[in-house]
Chain A
Amino acid sequence: MNQTLRALLDTVRALTGDDAYERYLLRHQGLHPDLPALTPSEFYASEVERRYSGVARCC
């Protein structure tokens, strides 16, 4: 039961982008651990900027 709830929460977090920073950190540390990572706030601002620079919503 606990596992199911966990999986559900993970899915909801992935759907909403709630876990975006964690995924970014993981990837960043894997690729270039020597470089400083963006702070959560910087990352969030640049992420929404990217997301809304194209057609994000339809009619």
Chain B
Amino acid sequence: MTGRLGYHAGMNTRTRLPWLWILVALIGAFSLAQVAVFRGETVNAAWLLAAAVCIYLLAYRFYAAWIAAKVLCIDPTRATPAERLDNGRDFVTTHRWVVFGHHFAAIAGPGPLIGPTLAAQFGYLPGTLWILAGGVLGGAVQDMVVLFLSTRRDGRSIGQMARDELGNVGGAAALVGTFLIMLILIAVLGLVVVNAMKHSPWATSTVAATIPIALVVGLYLRYLRPGRVLEGTAIGLVLLALAVLGGGWVSTHETLAPLFDHDALPLAGGVIVYGFAAAVLPVWLLLAPRDYLSTFVKLGTVLLLAVCIAVLRPEIHMPAVTQFVDGSGPIFGGKLFPFVFITIACGAISGFHSLISSGTTPKLIASEADIRLVGYGSMLLESLVAVMALTAATVLEPGVYFAINSPAGVVGADLTQAVATISGWGFPVTAAQMQGLAEQMGEATLLSRTGGAPSLAVGMASILSAAFGGGLLALWYHFAIMFEAVFILTTLDAGTRVGRFMLQDMLGNVVPALGRTSWYPSVLLCSALVVAGWGYFLYVGVIDPNGGVNILWPLFGISNQMLASIALAVATGTLVRTGKGRFVWITALPLAWLATITTWAAGQKLFSEDPRVGFLAAARDLADKLAAGVLPPEKAAVAPQLIFNQQLDAVLTTLFVCVLWTVIAAMLLGVQRHLAGTCTRASSEASYVRTRLAGPGAISQ
């Protein structure tokens, strides 16, 4: 009975089982020391995993429980919106583990897999420490507090809460910020998929096959056996497995293989056309079935990877810290401070989560007592996914890792030259080694496959293959590529659709007809505009000889941290105005940290003289070279577009920083007015209604 009341049960545990928590703390401290202090030749990934799990357990048991009880004053007797506004559709009281599953599936996308893989260029330690500290003190707190605030406000969205709390300026900033981050996110994810498919008939044919498979499942779920999600998904999963196998057959087929062997540019065109089609087709036909498949594949693979790492306990070959902390890294330019905090957003703190934690999930929460599990717990699990992605990247030989992830513009397109450059950095790798690896993985080459997906797939394939007795590396590699592509494309479909709704909402203020979300001309126009928006960034990323990811990913990181700052500013302002001022540091400190590193990183992206870091410096550098005529003809042809793009990126960065500080200023002004007693804005919290549900409310009666 008391099990329902998370924190009360916790109090009992503390008095009964202090030794258990002392043990967890000791194991955690010892593991962390193994990882961070007593590092020998190599460190075992098991220490990393053990340190992470112990820190999560302690944070969940003590910090999250303390926030829930003392700061938020969680009240299980209070009826939640799901109970009060129950409509059988979006407002439904739902079992907490089911809400947890929905929430985790919604927040955990490809972000926590890509960011840590890229940040591994600094070594395994900086990324690990940021994922752990950022996760338990920043991201999980943000998710839980936003979930709580939205639950107390009838499930209002973060945009609406920003308007309530920070005024119209704050609301508008949140809307524009969200729209832009969506475009950049989709572009960078599209680029990751394109880089994984480039000149790989196996990967391309497998990813292409996921589209007809989704259509088959969609038709099955709509007409053959309506709503039988489990059956439809099972059929889809079998077909996906066949698609991975079939891809291997296609890649060796004389006439079929060339059909799926393409340069990056036509593949990007394909992704853009696909994105538009997916956005205008009925949801049940493509988007929904793809999402079912991707959710299953995602959860299954993450679980499988966790078990394999725990069983295999692979050694980490990447040094704890590499020389690239000085900013000379090949994968992206910029020093450890502040760029590791921008590169790893998802997995440590991700502003995007505030869109799910408000608006969607609160409408399912049956009792306020579930908020800690759903809000804080889900984020810890995503953080663990990030730790595993980092593990998969760092168990690779560092030379191999850099050969896969460094763009051709940095190490050269020629294999002999590239391995010589990388070996020269002190990470030995040979041409024969890279060729052998590519052969094992069933690819023509793995050199300069930027974006993180291929190197993660190589890492996953070696872990999964070893766990299943070795062999079948090519199959595991392409399974991993399919796994990443499937949910990247889901994010792309769903994101384009949401972007369309946002655009219709914004344009509807000017031309009311465009605001009608189901009016087909408006659907077509706004979808086309959204696709053109991210398609542009994808196109420039593809033609950029430095790979594009090194430009787009920091931009995405900055925008995502800006969104997190908006969410934390709303939370901070609300805590002060609801009389929780003395605990305000729980969100104010992460906010201060994010505002500092985001502004710092943005400043570097704008003003750094290093063309590998600064957008404007890169534009100037390229313009000078173009004028001097020292560029090879193929680079000179695209240089004007690249120069314009760097300038556009500088404008966007400036915009993000302006939005960030506008929101913080609005929050501080509100806090100052509240403290001076001149604030007249009423609280938007819904008034107390006692729950009628059996459980927590009944207990205290």
A residues with CB within 8 A of B:
11-18, 20-21, 23-24, 27-28, 39-41, 43-45, 47-59
> What is the distance, in angstroms, from A58's C-beta to the closest C-beta of chain B?
5
Report which of A27, A44, A50 forms a contact with B222, defined as CB distance below 8 A.
A44
B90: A residues at CB distance < 8 A: 50
B352: A residues at CB distance < 8 A: 58-59
Contact at B226–A55, with CB atoms within 8 Å? no
Report which of B97, B284, B517 forms a contact with A44, defined as CB distance below 8 A.
B284
Contact at A49–B283, with CB atoms within 8 Å? yes
Provide the B218-256 mask, 1 if CB < 8 A to any CB of A, else 0.
000111001111100100000000000000000000000
Provide the B91-109 mask, 1 if CB < 8 A to any CB of A, else 0.
0001101100110001111
Known A-B contacts A15-B102, A52-B283, A52-B288; A57 and B222 likewise in contact (beta carbons under 8 Å)? no
> What is the distance, in angstroms, from B266's C-beta to the closest C-beta of chain A?
26
B346: A residues at CB distance < 8 A: 58-59
Closest to B94 in A: A14
Interface of B is mostly: helix
**A14 and B94 alpha carbons, distance in the complex (Å):** 9
Contact at B223–A11, with CB atoms within 8 Å? no
B333 at the interface (CB under 8 A from A): no
Contact at A15–B101, with CB atoms within 8 Å? yes
**A31 and B282 alpha carbons, distance in the complex (Å):** 30
B residues with CB within 8 A of A:
88-90, 94-95, 97-98, 101-102, 106-111, 185, 189, 221-223, 226-230, 233, 282-284, 287-288, 291-292, 345-346, 350, 352-353, 355-356, 359-360, 490-491, 494-495, 497-498, 501, 517, 556, 560
**A52 and B90 alpha carbons, distance in the complex (Å):** 11
A43: B residues at CB distance < 8 A: 226-227
5 A–B contact pairs at CB < 8 A? A20-B227, A21-B227, A45-B222, A48-B287, A49-B283
> What is the distance, in angstroms, from A57's C-beta to the closest C-beta of chain B?
4
> What is the distance, in angstroms, from B79's C-beta to the closest C-beta of chain A?
18
Contact at A41–B494, with CB atoms within 8 Å? no
> What is the distance, in angstroms, from B558's C-beta to the closest C-beta of chain A?
13
**A40 and B222 alpha carbons, distance in the complex (Å):** 9
Residue among A18, A43, A59 having the largest count of chain B Cβ atoms under 10 Å: A59
Contact at A27–B88, with CB atoms within 8 Å? yes
Known A-B contacts A18-B230, A24-B88, A40-B227; A55 and B498 likewise in contact (beta carbons under 8 Å)? yes
How many inter-chain residue pairs (CB < 8 Å) link A and B? 113
Contact at B95–A53, with CB atoms within 8 Å? no
A20: B residues at CB distance < 8 A: 227
Contact at B498–A54, with CB atoms within 8 Å? yes
B292: A residues at CB distance < 8 A: 16
**A54 and B363 alpha carbons, distance in the complex (Å):** 13
Contact at A14–B88, with CB atoms within 8 Å? no
Report which of B101, B228, B356 forms a contact with A55, defined as CB distance below 8 A.
B356
Contact at A59–B226, with CB atoms within 8 Å? no
Report which of A13, A18, A52, A58 forms a contact with B111, defined as CB distance below 8 A.
A58
Closest to B95 in A: A14
Residue among A43, A48, A51 having the largest count of chain B Cβ atoms under 10 Å: A48
Contact at A58–B284, with CB atoms within 8 Å? no
Contact at B106–A57, with CB atoms within 8 Å? yes
Contact at B110–A59, with CB atoms within 8 Å? yes
A47: B residues at CB distance < 8 A: 89, 227
> What is the distance, in angstroms, from A1's C-beta to the closest C-beta of chain B?
21
Contact at B283–A48, with CB atoms within 8 Å? yes
